[in-house]
Amino acid sequence: MTSNIVEFPLLNPWQHFTIYGTHNRYIVVAMNKNRSKCRILKIDRMDQKELSITEDQHEYSHGELRQLLGTIEVSNSRVGGFSKTIHCHGIIGFIKFLEGYYMIVITRRSQVARIGYHRIYKIEETAMLSITNEDIKKVHPDETKYLRALQNLDLTNGFYFSYTYDLTHTLQYNFMEQNNVNSDSLNENFCWGTRYQPTSKYVWNEYLQESIRSQVHPRWLLFIVHGVILQYNLNVFCRSIYLTLICRRSQKFSGTRFLKRGGNCKGFVANEVETEQILHDASLSSLGKSHFTSYVQLRGSVPAFWSQDPKQVPKPPIASK
């Protein structure tokens, strides 16, 4: 399949995040790839029950941002101070237990693949920030138990994302969607990529984004895919070819094989994985000039209502020598 596509604005233009803390709020500063443009989110820290986020509608230059941060630092010098809390590469989402909300962010990433000029990253390290200010937080004795359970989840094993390529859709779908967009009205200096609604069942952090989806622009939402992404550079008749394997695991009706079998009443089946094999010319980064081929296979449990109690499975006797 030769690509002949129309490109349009990025799925997520913000790739560098710095979070500053004051007594009353967190200030999230997001920058584009070359750090020439900035946007700001303000997260209220004085409400333990609700998550309140305000998006600044102004797009700042680097100079305007420095001036704004200086003003905020001066105004907060006598009421709790102003400090840089953490630098990260994206916001996975927010979660609430018994003592208020926490923000989960990506603090370290590594590039594992490229599709044209789109880069795909693997999560290497994450961090979790408590939103509620300690001065108003009401301590609950069971909070530690839930935090420990969440921290047992290894987000560095099999979790991937891309700022500019929608990993929840196949390559063919992404190309078809781009063909449907008229680029005549777009600014020629815009960054380019894919942008539309993801396949929700492959968005692992869908639940973590529920609390902010109605409060911020979709460009702040970073879609995380759980599965496997591998890429190899092959030499075929002295020509460099990329072989990319993308396995997307559905987060609908997920669970271990002993607990989840068959399907549920909503039509989702257990252990559903969509596997896509992509071949493309590694010597060309342009999606409009390179050649791509994609093969997709879908597997999952049998689509029927079925369960098994492992305690009732008969155990065969151990044969003696």
pLDDT digits (tens, 9 = 90+) for 199-212: 999 999 999 999 99
- pLDDT at 187 (0 to 100): 42
Whether residue 281 is contained in a domain is answered as: yes
Whether residue 203 is contained in a domain is answered as: yes
- pLDDT at 89 (0 to 100): 95
Whether residue 274 is contained in a domain is answered as: yes
**C-alpha span between 32 and 295 (Å, rounded):** 33
Instruction: Check the CA dihedral 7-8-12-18 and report its sign.
Output: positive
CB atoms within 10 A of CB 321: 2
Whether residue 121 is contained in a domain is answered as: no
Domain count, the chain: 1
Instruction: Render pLDDT for 42-100 as a digit per residue (tens, 0 to 9).
Output: 999 988 889 999 999 999 998 899 898 888 888 887 777 788 889 999 999 999 999 89
- pLDDT at 288 (0 to 100): 66
Whether residue 88 is contained in a domain is answered as: no
pLDDT of residue 185 exceeding 60, the answer is no
Whether residue 234 is contained in a domain is answered as: yes
Sequence-ordered alpha helix ranges (H) in 120-255: 143-151, 171-179, 210-213
- pLDDT at 304 (0 to 100): 83
Instruction: Render pLDDT for 108-139 as a digit per residue (tens, 0 to 9).
Output: 999 999 988 889 999 999 999 999 988 888 88
Residue 99's nearest CA partner among 128, 127, 149, 141 is: 141
- Taking CA atoms, 240 is separated from 1, 235, 288, 300, in Å, by 17, 5, 18, 34
Whether residue 249 is contained in a domain is answered as: yes
pLDDT of residue 12 exceeding 60, the answer is yes
CB atoms within 10 A of CB 37: 17
Residue 188's domain spans which residues? 171-299
Whether residue 43 is contained in a domain is answered as: no
Mean pLDDT of the chain: 84
Confidence of residue 186 (pLDDT cuts 50, 70, 90): very low
pLDDT of residue 101 exceeding 90, the answer is yes
